[in-house]
Amino acid sequence: MKSVLKLLLALTLVGPQIAAPASAVVPAGVSQTTSVEGISEYQLSNGLRVLLYPDMSKPTVTVNVTYLVGSRMENYGETGMAHLLEHLMFKGSTRFPDPDREFSARGFHNNGSTSYDRTIE
């Protein structure tokens, strides 16, 4: 997770000066796998893939976490598990009990969806 944040910070600070995201210096353990039409894909040493699409027309940042699991992976007796995962992501934890309040205080807007082959936070 720390590498993802370093990568996003490094690419955000360069901002509009980036002619192509490939010119940005990426942290150790991160490698750029491809870049097509302004969308760059990076992979961390743990297998996590990060897609970055800079859009300088808006003063906001959008983050989507996509799990490649959805209802098609559920068997009899497991229906709704992917949707449950989506809801659990917003429940919080012992150390972070009310994520909605914390995120809202910082201008974040939460949303999620579950489909046939993916769950998005």
86: annotated active-site residue:
yes
Tell me 75's DSSP state. Answer: -
C-alpha distances out from residue 100 to 47, 73, 93, 96, 110, Å:
28, 29, 12, 10, 7
Determine which one of 41, 74, 78, 86 is catalytic. 86
Compute, in degrees rounded to 10, the torsion defined by CA atoms 105, 108, 113, 119: -100
C-alpha distances out from residue 8 to 38, 52, 95, Å:
15, 8, 25
| Residue keyed to tokens 């949707």 | 83
Q: Catalytic residues, which ones?
A: 86
